[in-house]
Amino acid sequence: MNCRYVLLMRRANQHEGIITSGTFSPTLGYSIALARVPEGIGETAIVQIRNREMPVKVTKPVFVRNGKAVA
Protein backbone atom coordinates (compact mmCIF):
# COMPACT_ATOMS: atom_id res chain seq x y z
CA MET A 1 0.00 0.00 0.00
CA ASN A 2 1.45 3.35 -1.03
CA CYS A 3 0.46 6.13 1.38
CA ARG A 4 2.35 8.91 -0.37
CA TYR A 5 0.29 11.80 -1.66
CA VAL A 6 1.33 14.61 -3.96
CA LEU A 7 1.72 18.06 -2.43
CA LEU A 8 1.06 21.03 -4.70
CA MET A 9 2.40 24.43 -3.70
CA ARG A 10 -0.26 26.99 -4.63
CA ARG A 11 2.21 29.69 -5.69
CA ALA A 12 3.62 27.62 -8.54
CA ASN A 13 0.76 25.16 -9.13
CA GLN A 14 3.22 22.33 -9.63
CA HIS A 15 4.32 19.24 -7.72
CA GLU A 16 6.86 20.41 -5.16
CA GLY A 17 6.76 17.84 -2.41
CA ILE A 18 5.53 14.50 -1.19
CA ILE A 19 3.70 13.47 1.97
CA THR A 20 5.54 10.62 3.67
CA SER A 21 3.04 9.90 6.47
CA GLY A 22 -0.20 11.22 7.86
CA THR A 23 -2.92 10.48 10.39
CA PHE A 24 -5.80 12.03 12.31
CA SER A 25 -4.84 13.76 15.57
CA PRO A 26 -7.57 13.29 18.20
CA THR A 27 -5.83 15.87 20.41
CA LEU A 28 -5.91 18.57 17.72
CA GLY A 29 -9.14 17.41 16.11
CA TYR A 30 -7.80 17.40 12.54
CA SER A 31 -5.40 15.50 10.30
CA ILE A 32 -1.64 16.01 10.45
CA ALA A 33 1.14 14.82 8.15
CA LEU A 34 4.88 14.89 7.58
CA ALA A 35 6.05 15.86 4.13
CA ARG A 36 9.24 16.55 2.25
CA VAL A 37 8.90 20.05 0.80
CA PRO A 38 11.21 22.87 -0.26
CA GLU A 39 11.52 25.80 2.12
CA GLY A 40 8.18 27.44 2.72
CA ILE A 41 7.15 27.44 6.39
CA GLY A 42 3.95 29.45 6.72
CA GLU A 43 2.95 29.01 3.09
CA THR A 44 -0.25 27.33 1.96
CA ALA A 45 -0.41 24.34 -0.33
CA ILE A 46 -2.92 21.93 -1.79
CA VAL A 47 -2.84 18.19 -1.07
CA GLN A 48 -4.67 15.82 -3.35
CA ILE A 49 -6.16 12.91 -1.38
CA ARG A 50 -8.65 10.45 -2.86
CA ASN A 51 -9.33 12.74 -5.85
CA ARG A 52 -10.11 15.71 -3.57
CA GLU A 53 -7.98 18.79 -3.08
CA MET A 54 -7.45 19.86 0.53
CA PRO A 55 -5.84 23.15 1.61
CA VAL A 56 -2.93 22.81 4.05
CA LYS A 57 -0.44 25.07 5.79
CA VAL A 58 3.28 24.25 5.84
CA THR A 59 4.58 24.38 9.43
CA LYS A 60 7.72 23.42 11.28
CA PRO A 61 7.31 19.94 12.78
CA VAL A 62 6.98 19.76 16.56
CA PHE A 63 7.81 16.61 18.45
CA VAL A 64 6.83 16.02 22.08
CA ARG A 65 8.80 13.99 24.60
CA ASN A 66 7.64 13.63 28.22
CA GLY A 67 5.01 16.32 27.68
CA LYS A 68 7.48 18.93 26.41
CA ALA A 69 8.16 20.13 22.87
CA VAL A 70 11.50 19.00 21.46
CA ALA A 71 13.18 21.34 18.97
Domain that holds residue 57: 5-70
Name the domain count of the chain: 1
How many residues appear in the chain?
A: 71
pLDDT, tens digit (0-9, with 9 covering 90-100), for 2-53: 445 555 555 556 667 778 888 888 888 988 888 888 777 788 888 877 778 8
In terms of Cβ atoms closer than 10 Å to its own Cβ (0-12, 13-18, 19+), residue 33 is middle
User: Is the pLDDT at 1 greater than 50, yes or no?
Assistant: no
CATH code assigned at 26: 2.40.30.110
| CA angle at 11 for the pair 8 and 17, rounded to the nearest 5° | 30
What does each C-alpha distance from 41 to 26, 45, 59 come to in angstroms?
A: 24, 11, 5
pTM check: above 0.95: no
